Amino acid sequence: MKILHTADWHLGHRLHEQSQKEEQALFLNWIERYIIQQKIDVLLISGDIFDTGSPSNQSLEMYYSFLVKLNATTCKSIIITGGNHDSPGTLNAPKHILDALSIKVVGKAAENIEDEVFEIDINNEKVIVAAVPYLRDGDIRRAVAGESFDELTEKYKTALINHYKTSAKQCKHINTTNAPVIAMGHLFATGGSVSDSEQNIYVGSLGHIGAEDFPTYFDYVALGHLHRPQIIGGNDKIRYSGSPNILSFSEVNYDKKILVLNIENNTINTIEEVIIPNFRAFYRLKGTMSACMMKFNTIATNNYNLTPWVEIVLDEENTINTNDLKRAAENYPFEILKISLKNQRKVKGIEELLENTASIKELQPTEVFKLKCEEMGFDLEKSPEIWDAFNEILQSVKNQ
């Protein structure tokens, strides 16, 4: 049995207001061909299918078309879990129809743990999957009036760990043939490496668990949320597949991957890292304005012929006029998405930030809150409880 682990597709994502639908469509075509060529039996998608809770019709069409196409392949079982960007209602709405195509969807924590655990039997090989979605605080923990942030943090972490323990117990209960057991998850595991594109919704240690917190009964943990492919806690059986496409310029220096598990004789024999092609060429140019301009003729597209996207980080002592830079770029077949100064003044006023921002969508609530505190002379480092309280309110709003 071959199992493919992927996550964080973020269909509908825009990079600096530029649509990424072209590379997203290319990825879906590529993974469909890979599944056919490699005769993949099971597909696991560990959350953040969409970039927002209200995906566009275009993103929904890409998603459903892909799933329907797989019905004609060797992939006879698909399990999809919700991420923090996904709307549980959107994912769960067609679950009964998708179930007819052997597609299991768990958009949010189920009331009965049995509804999150599945037994898959293909080619005389079995596997048990604990399909744990992103666990929202309100789904797994009862709020208590007047509890402190530290109490909330500890109780949520305990509830999260207990959910995985309960899942493992249910897996063991139905596992009559000693089949390998895989858990899915969408969370931040301590020790993980983040990129600029991840929306850090966790506060302090809220929602952070380590490799040692997962039940040892699981033979593999297929994680989503962090966009860099990585192993957690030195345990090569607890892994993030990472996102398939570049979602920020901070992700250009490492390969994007999917993970393929090969099961034989009730054992996960191999875990293969498969590099995903770069469907669009990304470049980060650093140096003086003249040095960056000299590099323009080295920028080229790749085999997929999408317009290259460029970020420029200028190493200049003073604020300079970048019009010459932009005019020079017009003679080349690439697009500059972002220009910044390496030694840029770190603290900007909110009015200045708004003036230099193309869209309000580029502003992060946490960034605005920090700036406002700095403008008011309020030291957040001396009052971490205020920072925690703000983030907890922000998390509650996002989860509504």
pLDDT band at 83 (very low <50, low <70, confident <90, very high): very high
Do residues 253 and 287 share a domain? Answer: no
Cross-strand pairs, 185: 223
pLDDT single digits (tens) 328-377:
999 999 999 998 887 655 444 555 555 555 444 456 777 778 777 776 67
pLDDT at 367: 74
Do residues 269 and 289 share a domain? Answer: no
Do residues 179 and 261 share a domain? Answer: yes
We report the CATH number of the domain holding residue 310 as 3.30.160.720
Q: How many domains are contained in the chain?
A: 3
We report the CATH number of the domain holding residue 49 as 3.60.21.10
Do residues 117 and 219 share a domain? Answer: yes
Cα 330 from chain centroid? 34
Q: Which of 169-173, 286-290, 349-353, 364-368 has the weakest average pLDDT?
A: 349-353
Structure tokens at 90: 């959107």
Nearest CA to 161 among 108, 217, 106, 210? 210
pLDDT single digits (tens) 12-31:
999 999 999 999 999 999 99
Do residues 285 and 261 share a domain? Answer: no
Q: What phi, psi does 335 have (nearest 5°)? A: -130, 130
Q: Which of 276, 309, 325 is the last residue of a domain?
A: 276
pLDDT at 341: 83
195 pLDDT above the threshold of 50:
yes
Q: Which of 246, 276, 306 is the last residue of a domain?
A: 276
Within a domain: 349? no
* Contact (Cβ atoms closer than 8 angstroms) between residue 47 and residue 224: yes
DSSP 178: -
Within a domain: 354? no
pLDDT at 355: 52
258 Cβ contact list (under 8 Å, min separation 6): 4, 5, 6, 31, 34, 241, 244, 274, 276
How far is Cα 246 from Cα 256, in angstroms, rounded to an integer? 8
Q: Give the 3-state secondary structure of residue 341.
A: strand
DSSP secondary structure string, 179-224? --EEEEEESEETT----TTS-----TTTTEE-GGGS-TT-SEEEEE
Nearest CA to 308 among 279, 281, 347, 348? 281
Q: Which of 229, 257, 276 is the last residue of a domain?
A: 276
Within a domain: 58? yes
Do residues 105 and 70 share a domain? Answer: yes
Domain of 385? 359-400
* Contact (Cβ atoms closer than 8 angstroms) between residue 105 and residue 80: yes
187 pLDDT above the threshold of 70:
yes
Do residues 271 and 289 share a domain? Answer: no
pLDDT at 194: 61
Within a domain: 353? no
Do residues 235 and 272 share a domain? Answer: yes
140 pLDDT above the threshold of 70:
yes
Within a domain: 98? yes
List the Cα angle 100/102/104 in 5-degree steps. Answer: 100
Do residues 311 and 372 share a domain? Answer: no
Do residues 295 and 209 share a domain? Answer: no
Within a domain: 350? no
104 pLDDT above the threshold of 60:
yes
Do residues 114 and 41 share a domain? Answer: yes
Do residues 270 and 126 share a domain? Answer: yes
Structure tokens at 189: 């595991």
How far is Cα 91 from Cα 26, in angstroms, rounded to an integer? 22
DSSP secondary structure string, 22-85? HHHHHHHHHHHHHHHHHT--EEEEES--BSSSS--HHHHHHHHHHHHHHTTSS--EEEEE--TT
